[in-house]
Structure 1
Amino acid sequence: MTRHRSKTVATWLAITLGTLGAHRFYLHGRGDLLGWLHPLVTAAGLLGILRMRNLGQDDLQAWALIPVFGLMLAQAMLHAIVYGLTPDEKWAARHNPGQPVRATAWAPVIGVILALLVGGAALMGTIAFGGQKFFEWQLQQGR
C-alpha cells in the first residue's frame, strides 16, 4: 500500500521549497525528472542575482537570468494554488487511490492566500524587471 499524500503538505511544500521541487518529490518520488530540473533552473536564476550584485546592473547575463528565478517562484506558487484548491475527492483519486478520502481544514486555503500574494508579487516584479531591462537594451542598441 502506498503512503498517504497530504494536500496540505504538498501545498506548503510548494510555498516553502517549491523552487527546489520539494512538492514534486513529495508527490512523485525521487525519480521525478521535473523535480530534479527545479533546483537547476532556480540556481541559474540565483546566479543572475549574484552576477548583478557583483557586476552591476549593466550585466546582460544577469538581467537575462534574474527573470528565470522570478518565474520559478511564480510557478511554485501556482502549484501551491492548484494543490490547495483541488477538491478532496479529486485529490484522493489522483494521489491516494484506494484510500479513504481525508477532509482538509483551513491550512491549504491559508496557503493558497499566501501563494497568491507571493506569486503575484513575484510575477509582477519579474515582468517589470524583464520589461525594463529589455527596453533599456533596445535604447542602447539604437545609439
Structure 2
Amino acid sequence: MKNKTLATWLAFVGGPLGLHRFYLKGLGDWLGWLLPIPTALGLYGIERVQQYGLDDRWSWLLIPCLGFTFAACSLTAIVYGLMAPEKWNARHNPRAEPAATAGRTNWLTVLGVTTSLLVGTGVLMASIAFSLQHFYEYQIDEARKMSQQQ
C-alpha cells in the first residue's frame, strides 16, 4: 500500500533526489534517476558562486536548475496531497478498496501540502528573480561594451 502522506513528504523533502518516484514506481523509474542531475548542476552552480563570485556566468545558469527542480517537486507534493482518495488508490493501490486508508488525507498531508506551497513558491520566485537579474545585468554589460567600441 502506497501512502499518500508519505509520498507527499517524500516529494517535498527528497523530490530533487527522486525519492518519491522510487517510492511509488520502484527503482526502475528512469525519471527518478534523472532528477538528481539538475539538482547536482544547481549545487555545482552554488559552489561556483562561492569560488568565483556572483559575476560567474555559469553559476547564474546552473543555480536555477536546483530552484526549478525543487519547485517542480513541491508542485508534485501538492498534487499528491490534494488527490482524491479514490483516485490515489486507483492509481497507486489498484488492489485496495477505493476508500482505503492509504489514500486518505490527514493533518500531516495538509501540513505537507501547505509547506510545499509556501517553500516551493518562495524557491520558484527566488529562482526566477535570480535568473532575470543576472540576465539583465549581462545584457547591460554587453550593451556598455558595444557603446564603448564606437
> Is TM more than 0.5 here?
yes
Whole-Å Cα distance in 2 between the matches of residues 128 and 39 of structure 1?
23
Per the alignment, residue 113 of structure 1 pairs with 114
More off after superposition, 100-109 vs 56-65: 100-109
The amino acid that maps onto 1:130 is S
Deviation sequence 1:32-73 (CA, Å, 0-9, x none): 010001111100010000001111011110110001110011
Per the alignment, residue 70 of structure 1 pairs with 67
* Residue 36, structure 1, aligned to residue 37, structure 2: no
- Matched length: 140
Whole-Å Cα distance in 1 between the matches of residues 73 and 40 of structure 2?
15
Moved over 4 A (4+): none
* Residue 19, structure 1, aligned to residue 16, structure 2: yes
* Residue 84, structure 1, aligned to residue 85, structure 2: no
The answer on whether the counterparts of 2:81 and 2:105 sit within 8 Å (CA) in structure 1 is: no
More off after superposition, 72-81 vs 102-111: 102-111
More off after superposition, 23-32 vs 101-110: 101-110
Q: CA deviation at 1:18?
A: 0.7
Whole-Å Cα distance in 1 between the matches of residues 37 and 132 of structure 2?
24
Q: Give the gaps of 5 or more residues in structure 1.
A: none
Larger radius of gyration: 2
Deviation sequence 1:5-24 (CA, Å, 0-9, x none): 11011000011111111000
TM-score, length-normalised on structure 1?
A: 0.95
Whole-Å Cα distance in 1 between the matches of residues 38 and 105 of structure 2?
32
State the identity as a percent.
52
RMSD of aligned residue pairs (Cα, Å): 0.8
TM-score, length-normalised on structure 2?
A: 0.91
Whole-Å Cα distance in 1 between the matches of residues 87 and 114 of structure 2?
21
Whole-Å Cα distance in 1 between the matches of residues 23 and 113 of structure 2?
18
